[in-house]
Amino acid sequence: MLKDEANILAASPLFSGISSDLVLELFSSIPFTIKTYPKDSMMMIRGDVYDELKVLLNGEVSAEIQDFTGKVMKVENLKAPDSLAIGILFADDNTLPVTLVTQSDVKVISIPKSSIVKLAQSNQFFLQNFFTQSANKMTFVVEKLRLLKFSSLKQKLCSYVLSLSDKQQSETIQLPYNREQLAALFGVARPSLSRVCSEVVDQGFMSMDGKKVTILDKEGIKALLKE
């Protein structure tokens, strides 16, 4: 592993709190592979066995699902240094539920399950980070499923904001995701989300300032969700 690659991993959520020098040391005793993929190629397809954790060192990948009619739903976009399908690795059924398609030229490191176990045993930071990233991914997927019951993007956005308000016990909340991540959560393109955000602000439901959202008309939002 090169120093530049160790620096990228050290900046990733999975290796948070671990220096690049220690990353180099940890990887000196475990097997791993590094591979590149050109833009618009399928790294893996739905149904492939996922027995190596893949972490993006460069580039962007989309996770997609195609139904029997041929319609493609983009589950989320992942950018370096994100980990791919981290919650699947140790599942009893560790077949990939999505197809991974490169959105740019990509470099990825693949770490076998046995190496992940060794890293977790040798470094407490890595162990905690792995659990945290797995749990965060599960939370994201569960919330995405919950929002499927709403027919419109505006309802999904408003329901999500109300849910965060309840959790944070405040009418003014901090969004945990940026606009691109929110668009992936709602299953829409970012311009569509931006348009709806402008609409709910113009209609007086809420105000938005970056990731800061203030609910201005809670009853109006609840009425919208009942439509």
Q: 34-60: string of b/e by CB count within 10 Å (b at 16+)?
A: eeebeeeeebbeeeeebebbbbbbbbb
**Which 3-state string (H, E, C) describes 24-37?**
HHHHCCCCCEEEEE
Tell me the two tokens of residue 176. 């945990």
**C-alpha dist (Å) from residue 77 to 62, 183, 193, 219:** 4, 10, 15, 34
The pLDDT of residue 186: 84
The pLDDT of residue 67: 66
Rounded (5°) CA angle 202-159-129: 115
The pLDDT of residue 71: 72
pTM equals: 0.74
Residues of the chain with CATH 2.60.120.10: 3-145
Distance CA 177, CA 134 (A): 16
Greatest alpha-carbon span in the chain: 59
Residue 51: name the closest of 6, 85, 8 by CA: 85
The pLDDT of residue 68: 65
The angle, 0 to 180 degrees and rounded to 10, between the axes of the packed helices 153-168 and 190-202 is 70
Residues 60 and 102 sit within 8 Å (Cβ to Cβ)? yes
Encode the chain (227 residues) as per-residue pLDDT tens digits: 788 999 999 999 999 999 999 999 999 999 999 999 999 999 999 999 999 999 999 999 988 887 666 677 777 788 999 999 998 999 999 999 889 999 999 999 999 999 999 999 999 999 999 999 999 888 888 887 788 788 899 999 999 999 899 989 999 999 988 888 888 888 888 899 999 999 999 999 999 998 999 999 999 999 988 87
Residues of the chain with CATH 1.10.10.10: 150-226
The CATH class of 150-226 is mainly alpha
Residues 90 and 113 sit within 8 Å (Cβ to Cβ)? yes
The pLDDT of residue 227: 76
The CATH superfamily assigned to 3-145 is Jelly Rolls (2.60.120.10)
Residue type, 227: E
